């Protein structure tokens, strides 16, 4: 089953410095029929104005993955970690028993991110943070795992969840396929460009929820970059 969730129908918030769309219930947007998709709890499409951002705030018991689509995000946390993650790269924070962090756009342009929250397999544990640049050529024409709770995915950033986050870049006319257990949940969003997912068209920033499918085949109708979550 493929369910299209058009961008214009998503929950939204406009704080001036932050424009956000919520694929699932978040903040002031609450839809009791749309709380999560398996253990995928949050997928926010955020646009952060230059020289603004999220001041220090706490998290606990959540795996938080930030995929930067445009610009860059600068991170600082209560563990002493600092880092700048730029477009096409990813950072992961395992909030564990508790952590405080800030995320700022210190760039002269608007930064655009996908922020993805996944429920961990166990509560608590030492919080961690990490970031990784992924060479863009590695994502051309195939899904590449960028964050994973599976030990075999040793090139990906680790998360403490029964889930995998993948990305690909496709040129118009190209396809990529990902095998998924029919008992699991898939959710994907094209950051740019129009695509077909198992024959269903989705435009840039639309959400595509996948259930009871044994494979996800994505065909690019336009040049595109896609993020996919395989969730339990």
What's the pLDDT tens digit per position in 179-228?
Answer: 999 999 999 999 999 999 999 999 999 999 999 999 999 999 999 999 99
pLDDT of residue 138: 83
| Predicted structure pTM score | 0.96
Helices within the chain (DSSP H only): none
Calculate the dihedral angle through the C-alpha atoms of 133, 150, 69, 60, rounding to the nearest 10 degrees. -100
Question: Which fold is adopted by the domain 2-231?
Answer: Jelly Rolls (2.60.120)
Instruction: Name 71's bridge partners.
Output: none
Query: Number of H helices and number of E strands within the chain?
Result: 0, 22
What's the pLDDT tens digit per position in 68-94?
Answer: 999 999 999 999 999 999 999 999 999
Instruction: Name 143's bridge partners.
Output: none
What's the pLDDT tens digit per position in 99-144?
Answer: 999 999 999 999 999 999 999 999 999 999 999 998 877 888 899 9
**79 contact partners, CB below 8 Å, separation of at least 6:** 99, 127, 128, 129
């Amino acid at each position: 089953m493929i369910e299209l969730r058009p961008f214009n129908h998503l929950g939204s918030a406009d704080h001036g410095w932050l424009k956000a769309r919520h694929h699932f219930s978040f903040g002031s947007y609450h839809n009791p029929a749309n709380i999560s998709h398996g253990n995928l709890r949050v997928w926010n499409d955020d646009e952060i104005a230059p020289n603004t951002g999220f001041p220090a705030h706490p998290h606990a018991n959540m795996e938080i993955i930030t995929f930067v689509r445009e610009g860059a995000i600068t991170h600082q946390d209560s563990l002493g970690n600092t880092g700048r993650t730029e477009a096409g790269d990813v950072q992961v924070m395992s909030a564990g028993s508790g952590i405080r962090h800030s995320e700022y756009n210190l760039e002269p342009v608007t930064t655009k991110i996908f922020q993805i929250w996944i429920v961990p397999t166990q509560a608590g544990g030492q919080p961690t943070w990490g970031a990784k640049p992924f060479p863009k050529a590695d994502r051309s024409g195939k899904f590449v795992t960028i964050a994973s709770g599976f030990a075999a995915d040793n090139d990906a950033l680790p998360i403490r969840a029964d889930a995998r986050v993948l990305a690909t870049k496709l040129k118009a006319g190209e396809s990529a396929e990902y095998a998924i257990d029919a008992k699991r949940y898939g959710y994907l969003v094209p950051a740019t460009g129009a695509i077909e997912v198992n024959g269903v068209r989705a435009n840039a920033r639309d959400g595509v929820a996948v259930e009871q499918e044994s494979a996800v085949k994505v065909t690019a109708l336009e040049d595109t970059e896609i993020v996919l979550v395989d969730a339990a």
